[in-house]
Chain A
């Protein structure tokens, strides 16, 4: 292993200062992804700044309604919280669909958002990867890409974001609270992530030293009618092949409003706004749900081995919306 420093700063400001001033430094929270990447040689920080004791670990009502979730809240605590389970079932189900019980006990909300892709080439330092070594190339397009992106990718990178939780948060319009060298700021979840373009190594809009402190879920009247469906190759302990987070507000057979986000199809948790636009004001029928899915997936540019994800995503979207509309057929 490579020697690295380990620092437990007294407060968030000291943590931020420690990382800001040192290009090789990294925040350490649950460590469930970072430590793996260090073992693989993908990440080689020279200083780990342990923030586990500094991050808020409470889930509280937010001033504007909704919930404010401390970035240090463990995934298992988030999923077990009665307000989350009752008010935002999509979130509780997404968290429980991810990883294993042991990992959820360690992983934090802030860390979960910043997971790195599980693309096989990103994880293997003996091979090229534009995300890991900019300009080195992307073998995935001609190689193993069955589980990579159909939306939002670029010629340089078709990695997928692996989080389940973030897909639910994308559907819920979550806001990420960040403390940084320039002070605090709030970023809508959709603004946290960057599409790869020609800089796949830049995955978020965070700057060096930015520390996620909380995630706020704004109130959503119909969030109780929400769900998360994760399709995977193994019944448990597997990353999604396709996942869908959805919330639906139906009255008199007509969709008043809908939230839809897709996981494992794009380099970012994919908010399906094109589909949402189709749904609003339209009949809550399988036909219109299918049209909405098609509107979103029209932009898909699948590769040979992941073209099935287009069909799979469509089927799951239609099924979930039918179920949320009260039609189990």
Chain B
């Protein structure tokens, strides 16, 4: 088993993150966030800020350089006087030091024409509309059969509404950028999940050719989707560097991350299930209500997983969204599947109770033979194997389904189960592999390791494909100057990158073999591009297959009978996610996902303050994320599986399947323990509190 190759650098502090890159003559930029949620900027008075010694520039809508590319309004920094949400960057100060920039930013006086804001999502909001598609390009609504008729006729019905709060990604490393202009070219050291994507988007904003922007992201301290696309910090650093003629460093603060680096929007989800007395679904409907900002439409695809999870002849899924005066939502930790499966899997648990059928058995009974909406065969689908394996390992058999019936001292105890799923996909990437006459190999690809162990996994697959020890290979990633690659996102990193890397490695090995192993003095090189291979996935016969990873999550909880405090003594996840390339890293990543699921279940909530239109709990003391004491016995295992279509690694991706379903398993376990069904996350103690004595 390969240990993490960058582990020693990280634990000794040698690993360098974006903001730490030393540049000569660095200046610092600090953003001024809007303190209104909607309105326009009448005027900006920079005089008091400019008077602070060490200030180099105050950038405002009045004097900001005009940006040629404004397709993404979140990146069109200071190009408009309109304020779309509280916390939006509306001006900035560049200075000799971070401290001066920050102090002067507080002295920029902005006169706003404030307008009434609307920041509250409701199920009957008059502004709700049907978007053309949901993230990233899924159909907004789907339907088959006659849901209404079948639901009305069903022997057993569940009709429940679930709510998930706004949640923020919160990687440990806040977004940060160091920007350096040399002539017409821009180099940015950035905390990003995708150097190639960021380079392309930043080039577009500044009207540059793609080759004129280089993005370096050697080490990235987590992303969880928030770093999947460039955020305002990259543009701000580059703009300030251009204005000052100096290299500029920019770091987003934790409070600012609640506004400008993306988050998961709150959702209101109605799930209706109709079934026969045997628990077999006849009707299934999932209606999602979501919010986005006035700047950009982002509709989380929360009902999409419902389209392939369970068999039911009559079915419907819908998404509606409303534009509010709120920060722009974005990708966060399994967007769509994560909140959607909380609702669907909680509803399954309610159906199991209504039918008096074990919740594992209920899911087994509703296993579809093919994709229930498209009829496509699954490339592989091992949900039932995960459920059975998990039930055996967890000791599920013989579970008494009665809610609120078990007590251990002051603790009420219960168990719960939920399914997990995530699409298995890959995106085009390129890689180059070289070998020197002395037998050193270099593998080059603009992948990003955001703490997942991608470096290690790619080294493993490259060594295997080349048939050489890992020690003979230098792996270069995290730089847009390398062959372009998919972002570390959508659980597609390993599948996408390893496909290109293995293809290049095999090509190089063939070259070496053709020369009977003799490498010429200039070395040999092979380049691979998987664009055509992945294009083939869209044409027959491969286009006819549905590809997903699956999993089963089991949770045991204890709820303090007096206080409602919830503990999770045991979490077990069993996953079927194609070939597991690097077991040690995979287990960490799956457990990490499950921990985030626990965190979502019990803690995470960005609570909108309707008075101001912001999330007032905007730091890590106010926004709780699970800490070590919240995680006790947690384990992740997997079923042996090979994904035949997504490249030679046989992988499906494990970045997000670990988080999906965890919250439903825990909420169902809380119901089993207490008899209280919490349908609005997080499951906090006040929702479970009962007066005693």
**A contact residues vs B (CB 8 Å cutoff):** 1-2, 41, 118, 120-121, 124, 126-127, 139, 142-144, 146, 231-239, 241, 286-287, 289-290, 308, 311-312, 314-316, 318-319, 328
Contacts and interface: CB of A to CB of B under 8 A. Distances in A.
Nearest to A125: B106
Given A120-B616, A234-B626, A318-B692, A2 B410 contact: no
B85 to A, nearest CB: 14
A311 B689 contact: yes
Contact of A315 (B106, B611, B621, B691): B691
B624 A238 contact: yes
B641 interface: no
Interface string B588-628: 00000000000000110001011110001110011010111
Nearest to A234: B624
Contacts of A2: 103
A239 to B, nearest CB: 7
A316 B567 contact: no
B689 A41 contact: no
Given A142-B611, A312-B686, 14 more contacts: A1-B102, A124-B616, A124-B618, A143-B616, A231-B685, A234-B629, A235-B629, A238-B621, A286-B693, A308-B689, A312-B685, A318-B693, A319-B410, A319-B692
Given A231-B565, A236-B629, A143 B691 contact: no
Interface of B is mostly: loop
Contacts of A146: 686
Contacts of A241: 685-686
B684 interface: yes
B630 interface: yes
26 contacts: A1-B103, A120-B616, A120-B622, A126-B35, A127-B612, A139-B612, A143-B611, A143-B616, A144-B609, A233-B603, A233-B684, A234-B602, A234-B603, A234-B624, A234-B626, A235-B629, A238-B621, A287-B693, A289-B693, A290-B693, A311-B690, A312-B685, A312-B689, A315-B693, A319-B562, A319-B692
A300 to B, nearest CB: 14
Interface in B668-693: 684-686, 689-693
A317 to B, nearest CB: 10
B140 interface: no
A239 B619 CA distance: 13
Given A290-B693, A316-B563, A236 B628 contact: yes
B563 A143 contact: no
Nearest to B687: A308
B210 to A, nearest CB: 39
Given A127-B612, A318-B693, A144 B617 contact: yes
A231 B410 CA distance: 14
A234 B629 CA distance: 8
Contact of A237 (B607, B609, B627): B627
A315 B617 contact: no
Contacts of A236: 627-630
A128 B567 CA distance: 37
Contacts of B684: 233
Nearest to B608: A144
Contacts of A233: 603, 624, 684-685
B316 to A, nearest CB: 36
A315 B689 contact: yes
List the 8 shortest-distance A-B pairs measured between CB atoms, nearest first: A236-B629, A235-B629, A308-B686, A315-B562, A1-B99, A120-B616, A126-B35, A234-B624
